[in-house]
Structure 1
Amino acid sequence: MILKKYFIYGLLGLTIFSCAPRQEINYMQDIENLALDNSIKNSRGTLQPGDQLIITVTAKDMDVVKPFNQTYSSSATITQYSNPSSNNIPQQLPVSGPTYIVDTDGNIVFPQIGLVSAKDENIETFRVKLTNLISEYVKNPVVEMKLINFKVSVLGEVTRPGTYVIPDGNTTLLGALGLAGDLTVFGVRTNVLVVRNVDGKITKERVDLTSAQFINSPYYYLKQNDMVYVQPNANREKAARIDPNTGLYISVASVIASLVIGVLALTKN
């Protein structure tokens, strides 16, 4: 009868425990109440000193655009995350082409044109700017531009913590968490930290993933070198404080207790 009572209590406790977290781990529970308009303006990060750009210029007559394609070409490897939610190993894709590095003043040196300022420009606006400059010399040029070193770090309570290179230079906070395999069950979803360094100025923001409000935040779209940290919950912190050898100690104590009981039993006999 006592065992039956404890079984019922345990079953009720398990039911409560299993149901409660489901609401906590749902992202953006009030998404239907908010519009996405304000987040569009933050979808592209501005170029920063140290950014590496592969820029190629083409036209109907390729001989005409040769002077605009520098002969030096560097190669790099970009990790392509084709299926972030799976445990598949990401594919390594080699990329190469004329590479330009944004200097400390926010400029690149482009053939035939000279210094071109990339300050306060994102990939798309800078591509248009460069296209217009080349159009003064070439009819209908096509400029292709890739940012090859855009990376973000995702640390803490995620499945695959690490630094991730984003091939297209554009990702959201949820996208980065997806690359890292999502939060573990021990991750605090209401207090995710995003640390940002723009032109030497470090800022940080705490984000509640369970509310759609954060899609209107400038931290919804991640910028170059952003760091995302997922805080562990109280259960994880308690587990971390427990001696990892506790299980071994309990096993040894159980064996010793069994031996003592056996010896006492033999002694009484």
Structure 2
Amino acid sequence: MNNNPIFVKILQIMSFRKIALFLFANILLVSCTAKQEINYMTDIDNMVLDNAIKNSRSTVQPGDQLIVNISARDMDAVKPFNQNYSSSTTLTQYSVPNSNSTIQQLPVSGPTYFVDTDYNIIFPQIGKINLQGENIEGVREKLNALLKAYIKDPIVDVKIVNFKVSVLGEVARPGQYVIPDGSTTLLSSLSLAGDSTPYGIRKNVLLIRNVDGQITHNRIDLTSANFINSPYYYLKQNDIIYVQPNTNREKAARVDPNLGLYISVSSVVASLVIGIISLTRN
């Protein structure tokens, strides 16, 4: 055996590096497999769901864009109420992802009405209509009642063109999503974004909401079904959902992204040194 002090020192360094790499790999393995709470609504079988349907529709807000299509048996009588609209004009909305996880586009067209800061729209032949406090169903019923003075058995179809929610943080596909029918739930919106990743904290999801200029925020525990009975189960226009990352993800974000490369290079260099020493001994 070679008793050269330098050779012995190099072997000691190599052994230390191997031990350090082994320990580091095990620490990473434990961190990645640490138990996380990833289940939703674990207590749903033990609670009564009493959420009212009236909470399922967002009320009209200033800046909303409404598409209103009027039809009836006598379409000539309807024409004055669908004026200033070209059938070649098409607005695009988005639906849920298809089986390939891509967002499908749905064409929606019709006369568009902008809700002003006083919650009014200007409607042909009728004039100013105030929609404050009304949801889409309420807008439909209000227009239907007004149109009966001019049209026999009118049919009113109303959609919010720009109803959107944002899903951010620890989800598969963070982004802003337009909801075609103007109604969505917290869980549905998370599914649009590909659901929370295993690193998301499901017990502390943040929901930011702006209604009539008032910004509110609320923390939601998705592991309990109690949130279904809250005002935050059905989302409102421009709601923002933020799924907070857990400590493992935060630690990983602080690690140099080139750490793996450094370790690989160090291993190669160590192997070369050992090889050179072996050749020298021979």
TM-score relative to the length of structure 2: 0.84
Provide the residue aligned with 1:75 in structure 2.
90
Out of 182, 187, 205, which is 1:192 matched to?
205
Is 1:52 the counterpart of 2:61? The answer is no
Partners of 1:223 and 1:99 in 2: CA distance: 20
Shift of 1:242: 0.9
Instruction: Give the RMSD, CA atoms, in angstroms.
Output: 1.9
| 1:108-127 paired onto structure 2 within 5 Å | 108-127=121-140
Cα-to-partner distance string for 1:190-244 (whole Å, 9 max, x where unaligned): 1111111112211111111100110111111111111111111111111111111
| 1:212-231 paired onto structure 2 within 5 Å | 212-231=225-244
| Alignment-mate amino acid for residue 147 of structure 1 | I
**Structure 1 unmatched ranges of 5 or more:** 1-9
Cα-to-partner distance string for 1:65-97 (whole Å, 9 max, x where unaligned): 2222222355311122254xx443222222211
Is 1:91 the counterpart of 2:104? The answer is yes
Partners of 2:127 and 2:54 in 1: CA distance: 30
Partners of 1:117 and 1:33 in 2: CA distance: 43
Provide the residue aligned with 1:28 in structure 2.
41
Is 1:256 the counterpart of 2:275? The answer is no
Higher strand share: 1
| Alignment-mate amino acid for residue 75 of structure 1 | T
| Alignment-mate amino acid for residue 251 of structure 1 | S
Partners of 1:75 and 1:189 in 2: CA distance: 39
Cα-to-partner distance string for 1:7-56 (whole Å, 9 max, x where unaligned): xxx9xx98xx58x44xx211111112223323423111101111111111
Aligned residues: 251
The answer as to whether partners of 2:207 and 2:220 remain within 8 angstroms in 1 is yes
| Alignment-mate amino acid for residue 109 of structure 1 | I
**Structure 2 unmatched ranges of 5 or more:** 1-25
| Alignment-mate amino acid for residue 166 of structure 1 | I
Is 1:43 the counterpart of 2:87? The answer is no
The answer as to whether partners of 1:47 and 1:121 remain within 8 angstroms in 2 is yes
| Alignment-mate amino acid for residue 170 of structure 1 | S
The answer as to whether partners of 2:203 and 2:222 remain within 8 angstroms in 1 is yes
The answer as to whether partners of 2:97 and 2:192 remain within 8 angstroms in 1 is no
Counterpart secondary structure, 2:91:
strand
Give the % identical residues.
66
Provide the residue aligned with 1:3 in structure 2.
none
Greater shift after overlay, 59-68 or 69-78?
69-78
Provide the residue aligned with 1:5 in structure 2.
none
Out of 236, 241, 247, which is 1:234 matched to?
247
| Alignment-mate amino acid for residue 140 of structure 2 | R
Partners of 1:259 and 1:151 in 2: CA distance: 58
The answer as to whether partners of 2:201 and 2:246 remain within 8 angstroms in 1 is yes
Counterpart secondary structure, 2:252:
helix
Is 1:154 the counterpart of 2:167? The answer is yes
Partners of 1:82 and 1:229 in 2: CA distance: 20
Counterpart secondary structure, 1:137:
coil
Out of 144, 148, 160, which is 1:135 matched to?
148
Partners of 1:92 and 1:184 in 2: CA distance: 25
Partners of 1:117 and 1:35 in 2: CA distance: 37
Cα-to-partner distance string for 1:245-269 (whole Å, 9 max, x where unaligned): 1111111111221222223333334
| Alignment-mate amino acid for residue 176 of structure 2 | T
Shift of 1:104: 0.9
4+ runs deviating over 4 angstroms = none
In structure 2, the CA distance between the partners of 1:75 and 1:119, relative to structure 1 (3 Å rule), is: same
| 1:160-171 paired onto structure 2 within 5 Å | 160-171=173-184
